[in-house]
Structure 1
């Protein structure tokens, strides 16, 4: 078996990683229609890309995990396939998801990944989870990109946690707005806890 790389590849949920500031300023629909790399997402049309890209943080996390095994699958292709298992519910121009239990079935069936929905998870539990599973996809506030700010709520966004200790949590944030808040972002446990919704998905590879 080919050895896994030491570093985890980073992928944004938009094809152009620097789009986050524009999304925040102009809204996802308007900003993402200006993404010159949108076709790399696997979307069939620009309309499909603009609809999905703001909702696929979980698929970006999955893309990073699969890339560890040398599999590069476009995010919206992943989302489309996950929808077939019930991981997303699409009604007109509205998308509900990621729904965790169907996601677990999806990654098992399609990629042979072992995953487990985790609830009532304390921040202090994550290190132990990572000792059993390679990754933890954590539900956090998207405001985690601004760790100095008090978030309006917890949850609603997903990041890929790769290591956790008393010194800090290291994670990839698919919608970070700077390089420091995208790949290998680090927060001390108390700061991570401010954004963490005490749930997520453990994934082994």
Structure 2
């Protein structure tokens, strides 16, 4: 999982960006706890029925944010985030427990949902290696990757692999290029390079390959 990609080519898809919060500029404050997601002035755009429901989902919909980016890129639509999250829950990609715990995003049922609901090619892949990514991207696909959330700062010592989903939108000889739903504005949100030698610290070796049918 990692190392130098098997090509010297550069591929970067011009994919629109969506954060998992409706106000991307507030991400640092929300993550630091100095601002509540429920106070996001744009929360109603999410499709949530209340600010509290938005608060609940916003911490858990990195995968939905990736799907919104892919849908906007290929189909020109970006349905509201919480609306999509509830559809994913109904499809078995999230399991919401009575005590508030949430299991997911569960890759296999999510891939089925993306195919059946949105007409995408979607394949849950485990294992998925970093060396495969340049070729997938060059073929016109996008890849949701399971990484540790501290990829936003390229933490030298993340505590584990996985736990967060980002969207790979490009590759260069030096780095994987990602859109990070919980990245920092002006730094690690859009078209953020992750050097190939750094990626193995975060990448859990699994993900979901997305594309329009035929890709």
Structure 1 gaps of 5+ residues are 1-5
Is the contact between residue 138 and residue 160 of structure 1 (CA under 8 Å) also seen in structure 2? yes
Matched, 1:120 2:127: yes
State the distance in 2 between where 1:33 and 1:17 align. Answer: 14
Matched with 1:85 is: 91
State the distance in 2 between where 1:158 and 1:133 align. Answer: 19
TM-score normalized with structure 2 length:
0.87
Aligned partner (choices 16, 39, 44) of residue 44 of structure 2: 39
Matched with 1:176 is: 183
Alpha-carbon displacement from aligned partner over 1:125-173 (angstroms, at most 9, x marks no partner):
2112324451000000000011143211110000000122432111100
State the distance in 1 between where 2:128 and 2:76 align. Answer: 30
Matched with 1:74 is: 80
State the distance in 1 between where 2:101 and 2:56 align. Answer: 8
Matched with 2:108 is: 101
State the distance in 2 between where 1:53 and 1:179 align. Answer: 21
**Structure with the largest fraction of helix:** 1
Matched, 1:54 2:56: no
TM-score normalized with structure 1 length:
0.91
Matched with 1:3 is: none
What is the aligned residue count? Answer: 198
Q: Cα RMSD over matched residues? A: 1.5
Is the contact between residue 19 and residue 31 of structure 1 (CA under 8 Å) also seen in structure 2? no
Shift of 1:24: 2.2
Shift of 1:17: 0.6
